[in-house]
Structure 1
């Protein structure tokens, strides 16, 4: 696959544990963060994978908060207040950039509805031009998957860092493949760096990416074929009847 090598903007996430008074308190007690001092992010596409509760979304939220992005969904200029989360992990991380970028977006699949409402409120006050970076119309007038791809195809054209929390939640397998193409077009042109928390073996297949796996034993970098997502999906598709006979008897 021909590609132009782009440049990752965020190079490293560093942890300063001297700022933590109680390591037994959440989120500092998440096993994946034990003894971690820094995390290399020097790749255009970085995936965070693991079971729910292992810390991948917590880290992604902390990075978004450190970037001053809305942690509901949005970028620096979106004034959505998130009062439901604990973002104290962002107080002990430092982001190392080269070059520094300030534009970007944090997408949380589960609260994207709130962001769509926010845009509608802005459009009511300032007019329909508010929708221009999002496909020209309300995100509520599009299906969930269509609104995601509309966001990716329009708003993500600006040079920046894009933090996505389980984007596959709104994307069919076919649209996940379309999203892989969007990632390729943006990152290979040097326009974007993506950090994506996901469960999708389709998205994880993206070439030349970096994959971090979160579990109770810590945080490890793995190849695509080494991930449980790949291995389990492959085994299931190759032995569907055997799997179902064991599960459903």
Structure 2
């Protein structure tokens, strides 16, 4: 489903007047003088829209402008400056079916890393708690000097349980989180996306391929395609991953071109570089498959 139909960046003349009024109030011109130089002003969206470009092309800036204008939910909000806020204020957009749009959310690669760090912290605490319970079990079972008065009910209960249970069962029964999270970072990252995405929503996603292997990038590609098709989600993505650039029916804006224009994923320089590299190595792959 298409919720966000179009977005209009500031034309060059409006940026010029902002620069004239700038005086010495602001330390930088960011985000001015990025998109007029690319002759990029009006953006039309499809169910999946991709901003492609190298570092410094403005694709993350563009996502932030759109996210701020739409007041998108986000876990981490970086203050980008008063001039940035003034720029966003003067942008315009067309949003359809607002009454059935469940949420508008901005998701960055940092959000995925934070999630992975949280899982690592959970694993660390589970391991530490297991060590503590193991020591508690052995002490409760074999230390005969423990005071067994009624006032020491908890100690007595632990000792009784220790005598009836194996060490592993004793530990499991006392852990709130019984299991370590034993997935790889890539598998956990896929879980992150599955938990974040709900039906009938807009998602602005900045370089989701970070931390994902090629195999898991393909899994994410299929997940996004299915979410767009079956759950009526709209995705606006910045990426240079050839796997995500191949998202079915995606509209791709090449921010490295002047003027910025829509291209097929097979026409993009980054993808062509991969293609040429593997084509040159084709014989090696053929020999490897024969063996």
- TM-score where L is the length of structure 2: 0.63
1:50 and 2:44 aligned: no
CA distance in 2, matches of 1:171, 1:199: 13
CA distance in 2, matches of 1:15, 1:190: 29
Q: Deviations over 1:61-110 (max 9, x none)?
A: 1111122235xxx3xxx5x4423x34444233222111123503211113
Contact 1:32 1:217 in 2 (8 A): no
1:192 Cα deviation (Å)?
A: 0.4
Report the more deviating stretch, 105-114 or 152-161. 105-114
Which structure 2 residue ranges, 5 or more long, are not aligned? 21-27, 120-176, 283-291
1:191 Cα deviation (Å)?
A: 2.1
1:181 and 2:177 aligned: no
CA distance in 1, matches of 2:209, 2:257: 24
Partner of 2:95: 97
Partner of 2:19: 22
Contact 2:207 2:239 in 1 (8 A): yes
Of the three residues 241, 252, 260, the one matched with 1:219 is 260
RMSD: 3.2
Higher share in strand: 1
1:202 and 2:276 aligned: no
Partner of 1:109: 109
CA distance in 2, matches of 1:52, 1:202: 18
The alpha-carbon distance between structure 1 residues 215 and 14, as it changes in their structure 2 partners (threshold 3 A), is same
1:158 Cα deviation (Å)?
A: 3.0
Q: Secondary structure in 2 aligned to 1:162?
A: strand
CA distance in 2, matches of 1:67, 1:147: 29
The alpha-carbon distance between structure 1 residues 81 and 146, as it changes in their structure 2 partners (threshold 3 A), is same
Which structure 1 residue ranges, 5 or more long, are not aligned? 1-6, 120-135, 242-249
Higher share in helix: 2
Q: Secondary structure in 1 aligned to 2:31?
A: coil
Partner of 1:129: none
The alpha-carbon distance between structure 1 residues 51 and 175, as it changes in their structure 2 partners (threshold 3 A), is same
1:39 and 2:80 aligned: no
The alpha-carbon distance between structure 1 residues 81 and 227, as it changes in their structure 2 partners (threshold 3 A), is closer
Contact 1:160 1:193 in 2 (8 A): yes
- 5 Å matches for 1:117-128? none
1:116 Cα deviation (Å)?
A: 6.9
Number of residue pairs matched? 210
CA distance in 2, matches of 1:163, 1:176: 17
1:152 Cα deviation (Å)?
A: 1.9
Partner of 1:166: 207
Contact 1:31 1:216 in 2 (8 A): no
The alpha-carbon distance between structure 1 residues 179 and 117, as it changes in their structure 2 partners (threshold 3 A), is closer
Q: Secondary structure in 1 aligned to 2:227?
A: helix
Larger radius of gyration: 2
- TM-score where L is the length of structure 1: 0.72
